[in-house]
Structure 1
Amino acid sequence: MKDKFTHWYGVLIASPVGLITWLLTIGVFDLTTMISALVTGGTVFLSYFSTQQFTLQKYLNEHELTRSEYKYIKKELKSAREKQKRLFNSYKKIRNFSDIKLIFDINRVVRAIMKKVHNEPKLFYNGLQFFHSNLDSAVNMVEIYLDLYRLPGKTKEEKIELNTARLRLLDLKRNLELDLSEINRNDYNQLKIERAVLDRTEGVNTPRLENNDSKIRIKDFNAELSNTQKAGEYIDKK
C-alpha cells in the first residue's frame, strides 16, 4: 500500500510550486500579502491533490485495482495488522520452551503473508481464508492457550485440554502455511514456466554442443593423422 509514498510525492511537487507561486505573486504581480497567501495556498493544495491522485491512480492501474477495492483491502490490512500485533505480544506470555518455536513459526508465517499482500494488494483475494478466518483463530487460540498455561493448580483434565489445544495450534500453523502457499501460487506457476523454458533451451543447446564436440574430435584426429604421416615421411628420408 502506497499511501505514504503518494503523500510525500505530493509534498515534493507541491512545495516548490508553492514557493514559486509565492515569489511570483509578491515580486512580479505585486499582490498584497493576504491575496498572495490565498493564491499560494490554493496552488499548493491543487498541485498536492492532483499529484497524489495521479500517483495513486497509476499505482492502482499497475495492480489492476479499483479505488473501492483499494479502500476495502486497506481497511482489512489495517485490521489484520492489529491482530498481528496481538500475536507478536504473545511472546511475553510464553512459559514453556517448547512453545517458543511454535509461536515463532506462527508469527513468521503471518508476517510473510502480511508483507506479501502489502506489496501486492491484489493477492488479498488469494488469502481470504487467512484474513477472514485463520488469522482470527490463531490470535484467539494463542492468547487463550498461553493465558491458561501459566495458571497454577491445573487438574489432569485441564492439562489434557491444553495438550489438545496445542495440537490444534500445530494444525492451525499448517493451515497458515497453506494460506501462504495459495498466496504464492502465481509465483510458483511463473517459476514452472521459467523452468520449462530453460529445459527447452537446454534441449536445443545439447545437440549443438555434441556437434561441436564431434567437430573438435575430428579436427584433433586429422591433426594427429597428419603428424603421423609427416613422421613416417621423415623416417623414409633417413
Structure 2
Amino acid sequence: MLHAGHSILRVLFAFITIPVTIAISMFAFAQGFFISLAISAVVFIVSYFIVQAYQRFNKRKKFGLSKSEYNHIEAQLLEANESLRQFNRLYSSVRSISGFKQLYEMSRLAKRIISIVKSNPAKFYNAEIFFYSHLPSAAELTEKYSYLSKQPIKDTEVHIALQRTRDTLADLLESMEKDLRQLLAADIEDLKVELDFVKKTARRSDRKVEEEI
C-alpha cells in the first residue's frame, strides 16, 4: 500500500548511509575500503527495511488499522492486482466489440477501486466483496469467455455459453459499479456537509454585511 514516492524516499535515505558509513568505518575505525564498502552495503539494506517498517507503521496509525488488519488488506491488494493483470491480459484478446467494451469498463472500475483502497486502506471494508468475489469472478469468467470466443466451432451450445458468460459479466459490471459508489459514498456525504457549511457561512456573511449597511 506504500506508493512509489515511499520507495524513492527509502532508497534515497538508505543511499545517504553509504558514504557516511564508509567514512566512519575508514577514518574512525581504520578499516580498509572494501571492508567499509561491505559494511555500508549491510547498513544500506538494514536502513531500507527500517524506513519501510516506519512508513508502514505511520500509514497504519494514520488510518487506525492494527498490524494484522494492515497486512491482510495489503495481501488482498496484491491478490487483486494479480487478478487485474490476469484480467487485462485476457480482455484485449476478446474479438467482440461489445465484449471488449464491457471488459474494458470492468478493468477501468477495478483499477479505480484498487487505487482508492491503496490510498485509504480503511475503505477496504466498504468494498470487501469486490476483493473476495467480484474481481476474482470477473477474471475467471473472462478467461473462460476468451477461450470459448477463440474456438473455431461456434455451434448452438458454444453460443449459449458465450451469451450466458456475457450476461454474468454484465451483472458483475453492475456489482462493481455499486462497489465504487459504496467507496465514494462517505466522500460524497462529506462533500455535501462541507458545501452546506460553506453556503450557511456565506449567507451569514451576507446578512451581516446587509445589517452593517
TM-score (norm 2): 0.82
Deviates more, 1:179-188 or 1:86-95: 86-95
Relative distance call for 1:182 and 1:16 in structure 2 (3 A) is same
Aligned to 2:168: 168
Cα distance in 2 between the residues matched to 1:103 and 1:50: 41
Cα shift at 1:113: 0.7
1:101 & 1:49 partners in 2: Cα distance?
42
Inter-CA distance 147–204: structure 2 relative to 1 (3 Å threshold): same
Q: CA deviation at 1:6?
A: 4.7
Q: Distance in 2 between the 1:161 and 1:30 partners?
A: 75
Deviation at 1:28, TM superposition (A): 4.2
Within a 5 Å distance, the mapping from 1:20-169 to structure 2 comes to 20-31=20-31, 36=36, 40=40, 43-44=43-44, 47-169=47-169
Residue 84 of structure 1, CA deviation: 0.5
The one-letter code matched in structure 2 to 1:79 is E
CA-CA distance at 1:21 after TM superposition: 3.1
Q: Which residue of 2 aligns with 1:196?
A: 196
Change (3 A) 1:114 1:30: same
Partner Cα separation in structure 2 for residue 162 and residue 32 of structure 1? 69
After TM superposition, list the pairs within 5 Å mapping 1:175-186 onto structure 2. Answer: 175-186=175-186
Once the two structures are overlaid, the 10-residue window that deviates more, 28-37 or 115-124, is 28-37
2:25–2:36 CA contact under 8 A, matched in 1: yes
Please give the per-residue CA displacement for 1:65-103, whole angstroms capped at 9, x wherever unaligned: 222222222211111111101211223322222222211
Equivalent residues of 1:110, 1:176 under 8 A apart: yes
Deviates more, 1:49-58 or 1:165-174: 49-58
Question: Equivalent residue for 1:234?
Answer: none
Q: For each residue in 1:136-182, what CA deviation from the matched residue of structure 2 results, as whole angstroms up to 9, or x when unmatched?
A: 22112222223223434433354344333322222211101001111
Contact in 2 for aligned 1:6/1:56 (Cα 8 Å): no
Give the 3 Å change call, closer, same or farther, for CA 18–198 of structure 1 in structure 2.
same
Whether the aligned pair in 2 keeps the contact of 1:93 and 1:147 (CA below 8 Å) is: no
Deviations 1:97-138 (Å, cap 9, x if unpaired)?
A: 222221111111111111111222221121110010111221
Alpha carbons of structure 1 residues 132 and 45: separation in structure 2 relative to 1, 3 Å: closer
Distance change >3 Å, CA 203–CA 17, structure 1 → 2 = same
Change (3 A) 1:148 1:18: closer
The code of the aligned residue for 1:165 comes to: T
Give structure 1 regions of 4+ aligned residues with deviation exceeding 6 angstroms: none
- Of 183-192 and 143-152, more deviation after overlay is shown by 143-152
Change (3 A) 1:209 1:75: same
Deviation at 1:49, TM superposition (A): 4.1
Structure 1 unaligned segments of length 5 or more: list them: 216-238
Aligned residues: 213
Q: Which deviates further from its counterpart, 93-102 or 41-50? A: 41-50
Change (3 A) 1:42 1:204: same
